[in-house]
Chain A
Amino acid sequence: MKTIKLKIDGIETEAEDRTTILSIAQRLGIKIPNLCHHPLLEPYGVCRICTVEVKSGTRTRMVTACNYPATNGIEVLTNSPRVRRNRKMIVEWMMAQCGHVKILKDMAAEYDISKPRFGRGTDDCILCGLCVRVCSDVVGANVLGFFNRGATREVSTAFGETSEKCIACGACAWICPTTHLKMENEKLERFRTLPGSERLCRYSLMGVTKGALCANSFQCWKCEVEQRFHDQLQTHPIFLGRSRKIKEIDAYVSQLNEMRG
């Protein structure tokens, strides 16, 4: 693959042709804020807060760093006055819906927003789509989706109901940047009422372990297995599928089941 030369905030660097500006910047330790991005998901480019200035020849464009493919000779400005002015208004727009969400309040502090010009809404879903994307692209359950359009756009399950297809992997709650999505204990009842042989540990349902049964009555937040996964894997297991590390935990869960009968 071709190597290209470019400048970011005055720093000259090289990269593989068509790498995104965001990944090049991250490699250089330059922080570009982003709210709908996750390294393990395809870039979505909807929050627009990663918009940066790109100069190519005589032409200046404003592009989103998360999905813009860098080309040879471009000069990128990640923190110019124009970029900051745009970011400020985007944060104010998001606060008009979600005025009390922590990540937005943190950004508001950085961009000197003491009184958001469009008000402070009380919603806590920023419509970043991370939950929808993880559920469809990684888990494959397709339970969460976007409904309606425009200002009435919302994230939900079909008809607002818990779907049979949901495997309660918790990836959506894990990836949600606000407190909007939470796992609800009562909703896990449907797993507890299953006959013995079907009470698969949800990591089995995720395809991460093979056939291990739940040893903890689906109180996942208390479960040793859960804890072990997070300690060893440093991320949500749904992203890793099968790997060597998982086989150890597989064995461990089987042992637990044998012990508890």
Chain B
Amino acid sequence: MHEGVIAATGLVKRFGDLVAVGGIDFTVNPGEAFGFLGPNGAGKTSTMRMIGCVSPPTAGDLHLFGLDPRHDGRAIRARLGVVPQMDQLDNELTVAENLLIYARYFDIDRSEARARAADLLEFVQLRERSDSKVEPLSGGQKRRVSIARSLINDPDVLILDEPTTGLDPQARHVLWDRLYQLKEQGRTLVLTTHYMDEAEQLCDRLVVMDGGHIVAEGSPQSLITTYATREVLELRFGRGRNADHVADATAVGERVEELPDRLLVYTADGEGSLATLRNRNIVPDSALVRRSSLEDVFLRLTGRTLVD
């Protein structure tokens, strides 16, 4: 029997010669917020489309609710809510009409659909826009319409593909707040993101993907503990001179990453390390101490920054 709401083993997706997903294993538990973190082209969206039963796996085993998408796609999709990367709303229709039409795709009758649409628009704080067309709404508002739409069938699992990509910080926070509330309601969330802060805010557990493979798995905190130090000291010596100071930096930390514009010194005590450097008369143009984040985990695992 398959455990978890979603269980995948050896999941592969190929398009011709291109291997989008190269054999991954993961399990999503009920009520969990599970994240796929990785850069563009890591295979996140292909994985999400397989989970959403709109892209058949090339190989491997995938089960949702104990059902196989190959035979039970309709039944599985009836229990999923999908927030796509690009909004797929009917711009010519009103906000409420978009929800009603979508409800009909699930064969929810019209009066029930109207009641649910009103509640959901309340939930995403767009009740007063329910009779306006979608077209003039802002990016953040459209995304909230998409979230309301994805909840119309009261799904057991909500799938969100880069839910806040392209939104301004204010709109992202509004969205995070709504998603956090869904999580508190006990809904299972599966999301992809290439934002580290998003993964840290929302995910109970996540996998880091790179080049179609899972390179690490765990809670945000455990990944940071395993693959980074508590703090990071960022040093800038000016372009071209950073490389000269790698040895100095290494002497005051556990590990150093050299980036084109700065050095990252991994250390338990950033201020302490900086003080030691200064005592040795090594004074950077600028220095910044911050908490380690998943960004550092990703850099450690792949040798690359996430957003280039």
> Are chains A and B native binding partners rather than an unrelated pairing?
no
